[in-house]
């Protein structure tokens, strides 16, 4: 039995409770990820996919339930303290990097994730070589632009850099929140390929939200589908490998007890 890397223990979250904009985002989410699991998360808009990821990351406190990462109870830890365990890539390429700082400075910030920051130099010369090597693996030519401001990079380059930064210091859990959704198809494919490569090389435990059914089926060893704040489908192992699109649709209808609305799911 592999080690448990993430345990989401019956969490619930309601935004703006008691107001006209009240939104029950997570009703009762229960999920356990084993070390090395790469799970893809699908579901319609408002199903709670991103909310679940953000709850794990600590963007907001949950109303009830418990979250453990690598055996540590993080339920009451603020976002910046949980960062120690987490690598994160966001949907918006602008979110993951500091535009006004250069590439190597961004990487140096990521290299110190979860460490106290004092009056030592922000970047030491020996680090630079390591960053250059790492950037070379992206194959984007960024290793020759380490002094360039990140704001000058394209969305795809920024996402690739964010991915690299998220895994520079091996996280216990990698959270990918629709990280290819804002990219053109070609770039998205490249970033996705890079994601699989990094996850495989570092044997990471990862959770990836996607709107793309094809990717969700093709990538990872496990697939979960959310609907109305709950996980309604959870497929793994051999069964996940042989999954087809029609099958996923069928599973969803059975679990959610409603006709699947293809438009709402934005499945492609």
- Report yes or no: 207 and 33 within 8 Å, Cβ to Cβ: yes
Distance of CA 49 to the CA centre of its chain: 10
Beta strand pairing call for 173-177 and 222-227: unpaired
List, in order, residues 6 or more apart from 59 with CB less than 8 Å away: 79
Q: Can you give the binding site for another protein, defined by CB under 8 A?
A: 57, 78-81, 83-84, 86, 88, 90, 94-101, 105, 108-110, 112-115, 117-123, 165
Q: How far apart are alpha carbons 24 and 143 in whole angstroms?
A: 45
Least distance from C-beta 33 to another protein, angstroms? 19
Pick between residue 21 and residue 100 the one whose CB is nearest to another protein. 100
Q: Which is nearer to another protein, 122 or 141 (CB)?
A: 122
Least distance to another protein, CB of residue 245, Å:
33
Helix (H) or strand (E) holding 206: strand 206-209
User: From the CA atom positions of the chain, what is the Rg in Å?
Assistant: 19
Map 234-262 to HEC letters. EEEHHHHHCCCHHHHHHHHHHHHCCCCCH
DSSP state of 3: P
What is the closest distance, in whole angstroms, from the C-beta atom of residue 23 to another protein in the complex? 21
Structure letter (DSSP) for residue 186: H
Query: What is the number of other CB atoms lying within 10 angstroms of the CB of residue 92?
Result: 14
| Smallest separation (angstroms) from another protein to the CB of 216 | 24
Q: State which residue, 208 or 231, has the beta carbon closest to another protein.
A: 208
Q: How far is the CB of 185 from another protein (least distance, A)?
A: 21
Q: Which is nearer to another protein, 120 or 186 (CB)?
A: 120
Nearer to another protein, 110 or 235 (CB): 110
Nearest distance, CB of residue 264 and another protein, angstroms = 28
Cβ–Cβ under 8 Å, residues 231 and 222: no
Of 148 and 221, nearer to another protein (C-beta) is 148
Pairing assessment for the beta strands 64-69 and 72-73 based on DSSP bridges: antiparallel
Residue 122 or 139 having the CB closest to another protein: 122
Which two tokens mark 247?
């099958």
């Amino acid at each position: 039995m592999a080690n448990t890397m993430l345990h989401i223990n019956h969490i619930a979250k309601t935004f703006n409770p008691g107001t006209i904009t009240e939104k029950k985002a997570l009703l009762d989410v229960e999920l356990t990820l084993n070390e090395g699991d790469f799970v893809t998360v699908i579901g319609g808009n408002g199903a709670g996919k991103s909310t679940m990821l953000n709850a794990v990351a600590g963007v907001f406190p949950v109303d009830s339930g418990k979250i453990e990462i690598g055996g540590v109870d993080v339920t009451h830890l603020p976002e910046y303290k949980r960062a120690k365990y987490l690598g994160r890539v966001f949907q918006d390429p602008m979110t993951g990097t500091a535009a006004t700082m250069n590439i190597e400075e961004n990487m140096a910030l990521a290299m110190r994730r979860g460490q106290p920051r004092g009056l030592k130099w922000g970047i030491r010369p020996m680090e630079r070589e390591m960053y250059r090597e790492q950037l070379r693996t992206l194959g984007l030519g960024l290793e020759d632009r380490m002094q360039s401001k990140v704001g000058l990079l394209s969305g795809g380059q920024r996402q690739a850099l964010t991915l690299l930064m998220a895994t520079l210091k091996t996280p216990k859990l990698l959270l990918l929140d629709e990280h290819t959704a804002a990219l053109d198809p070609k770039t998205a494919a490249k970033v996705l390929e890079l994601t699989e490569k990094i996850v495989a090389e570092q044997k990471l435990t990862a959770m990836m939200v996607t709107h793309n059914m094809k990717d969700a089926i093709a990538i990872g060893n496990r697939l979960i589908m959310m609907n109305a704040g709950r996980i309604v489908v959870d497929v793994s192992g051999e069964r996940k490998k042989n999954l087809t699109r029609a099958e996923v649709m069928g599973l969803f209808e059975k679990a959610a007890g409603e006709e699947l609305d293809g438009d709402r799911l934005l499945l492609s």
